[in-house]
Structure formats: C-alpha cells, structure tokens
C-alpha cells in the first residue's frame, strides 16, 4: 500500500482528479478505450466536479459504480443519482454509463444482465474506492450475509449482499473484480478514517474488507 497525505481536502481532490485523468488518458492512448469504476457517497463529490471537466475522450470511457443501494434513482440515497449530478456532467456526460440498478424487486433478479454489460470492460482500468469507519468498501460490509463468498477468488463479478449496517439490500462488485483493476486508489478524509485504515492493517478481510484491496492500492488522505 502506498499512502499519500495532502495538506487539505481541496488539494487532495484536485490532485486526485488530475491523477485519475492522467491514467485514463494513458489507457486511451494505449488501448483506445478505458473503464472507470467509482464509489458513491458524498466524499468524492468535489473530485467528481473537477474530473467531469477534464478534456479527454470520454466517449471511449465506460463508467460504473463499485456498488449501489437497491433504491430508485429518485431516492436521495441512490449512488447513481449522485454520479449523474456530480460526474456525468460537462465533458464527462459523453461517457458510457453502465448502471448497477434495474427495475426489479430484488438485486438478485438483475445480477446476470448487469454483469453481462460490465464484463466487456474488465479489467477495470482505474478504480476509485471509498472506505467507511467500519472498514467496509464498496458494499463489502463486515458481517454481511455473504461476505466470505464475495471475498473469495472464485466470486462472480457481481453479488447481492445484505448487512445490518448497509440498510437497504446492495449490489456490489466482488473482491476479485476490484482487485483485478490496473490502477487502484482509495479516497479517505478525516482522523476517524485514518485510524480505521491503520486498524485494518492488523485484521483479516472478513473483519476489515478494505484489507482485501490494499496491497496494490494508493491511499489518498487529508484531514
């Protein structure tokens, strides 16, 4: 794990947006296409605001979420809603968005179709992850009903997980799909999350799911 500390959050967001844009541009030059997998939540919003205006060929970039709550896009808890408001605007509106939500009662009913749309864009070119105070990442929550299966090397691309801390049922990329990304970044802010990251070093992935993704990751932190 590489750890990068920034003097403040504004500098972190600008620097990380530039870093991700540069990596995407490199993939476009080499392969003429790229994929970007990002978290929901409010923390990455300012970074998305900057990244959305970067002058790269977004039409050749597939964008999809790490995970999604099984709620309508009209819900304030929808990660898709946040992504449309903060990233898929400006120049980035030209990107190909691959949803992690379908009009079904449960995520299990939609897994096969959603996974089929994402599979052609693997391995992920650039992966951005967040982390909760409980050391969850994506929707890989400690205590989730199928966490051990989702962390296994044999896990399918997508799984539906349920956890008390998660609230709604979730759909998430699994650990092998995330670990296969060619560039991995973790964005955290504040003292509590830095302490949680340090605590995760001495735990197992079942206790601290972020641990499964740290070996090849760059962690970006500011107070």
* Sequence-ordered list of residues with C-beta below 8 angstroms from that of 104, at least 6 positions apart, any chain: 110
Helices (H), 52-190: 79-86, 111-118, 147-151, 175-179
Q: Report yes or no on 134 lying in a domain.
A: no
Q: Report yes or no on 221 lying in a domain.
A: no
- Convert the pLDDT of each residue in 103-157 to its tens digit: 999 999 999 999 999 999 999 999 999 999 999 999 999 999 999 999 999 999 9
Mean pLDDT of 88-101: 98
- Domain at 56, CATH number: 3.40.50.1360
Q: CA 150 to CA 142: how far, in whole Å?
A: 11
Residue 53 has pLDDT above 90, yes or no: yes
Mean pLDDT of 23-46: 96
Mean pLDDT of 40-59: 96
How many alpha carbons lie under 13 Å from residue 31 in its C-beta half-sphere? Answer: 15
Is 7 in a helix, a strand, or coil?
coil
Reported confidence tier of residue 177, pLDDT bands at 50, 70, 90:
very high
* Sequence-ordered list of residues with C-beta below 8 angstroms from that of 27, at least 6 positions apart, any chain: 33, 34, 125, 126, 182
Q: Report yes or no on 132 lying in a domain.
A: no
pLDDT at 8: 98
Tokens found for residue 23? 């990596």
Mean pLDDT of 88-99: 98
Whether pTM exceeds 0.95:
yes
Tokens found for residue 102? 């379908």
Domain that holds residue 170: 2-126+140-203
Q: Report yes or no on 133 lying in a domain.
A: no
Q: Report yes or no on 157 lying in a domain.
A: yes
Instruction: Give the β-pairing of 2-5 and 96-97.
Output: unpaired
pLDDT at 173: 98
Residue 219 has pLDDT above 90, yes or no: yes
Q: Based on C-alpha coordinates, what's the Rg of the chain?
A: 16
Q: Report yes or no on 117 lying in a domain.
A: yes
Please, what is the average pLDDT of the chain? 97
Domain total of the chain? 1
Q: Which element (helix H / strand E) includes 197?
A: helix 191-200
Q: CA 173 to CA 88: how far, in whole Å?
A: 20
pLDDT at 158: 98
Reported confidence tier of residue 162, pLDDT bands at 50, 70, 90:
very high
Tally Cβ neighbours within 10 Å of residue 120.
10
Reported confidence tier of residue 41, pLDDT bands at 50, 70, 90:
confident
Q: What proportion of the chain, given as a percentage, has pLDDT over 90?
A: 99
CB 120 within 8 A of CB 144: no
Q: What proportion of the chain, given as a percentage, has pLDDT over 70?
A: 100
pLDDT higher at 41 or 17:
17
Q: Report yes or no on 80 lying in a domain.
A: yes
Is 62 in a helix, a strand, or coil?
strand
Q: Report yes or no on 218 lying in a domain.
A: no
């Amino acid at each position: 794990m590489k750890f990068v500390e920034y003097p403040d959050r504004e500098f972190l967001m600008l620097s990380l947006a530039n870093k991700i844009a540069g990596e995407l541009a490199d993939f476009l030059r080499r392969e003429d296409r790229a994929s970007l997998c990002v978290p929901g939540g409010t923390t990455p919003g300012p970074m998305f605001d900057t990244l959305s205006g970067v002058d790269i060929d977004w039409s050749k970039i597939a964008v999809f979420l790490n995970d999604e709550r099984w709620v309508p896009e009209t819900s304030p808890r929808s990660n898709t809603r946040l992504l449309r408001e903060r990233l898929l605007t400006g120049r980035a509106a030209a990107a190909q968005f691959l949803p992690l939500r379908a009009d079904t009662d449960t995520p299990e009913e939609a897994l096969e179709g959603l996974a089929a749309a994402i599979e052609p864009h693997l391995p992920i070119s650039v992966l951005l992850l967040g982390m909760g105070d409980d050391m969850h990442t994506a929707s890989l929550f400690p205590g989730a009903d199928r966490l051990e299966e989702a962390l296994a090397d044999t896990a399918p691309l997508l799984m539906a997980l349920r956890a008390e801390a998660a609230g709604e049922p979730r759909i998430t990329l699994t650990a092998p799909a995330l670990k296969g990304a060619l560039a991995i970044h973790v964005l955290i802010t504040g003292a509590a999350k830095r302490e949680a990251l340090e605590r995760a070093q001495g735990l197992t992935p079942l206790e601290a799911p972020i641990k499964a993704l740290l070996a090849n990751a760059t962690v970006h932190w500011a107070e």
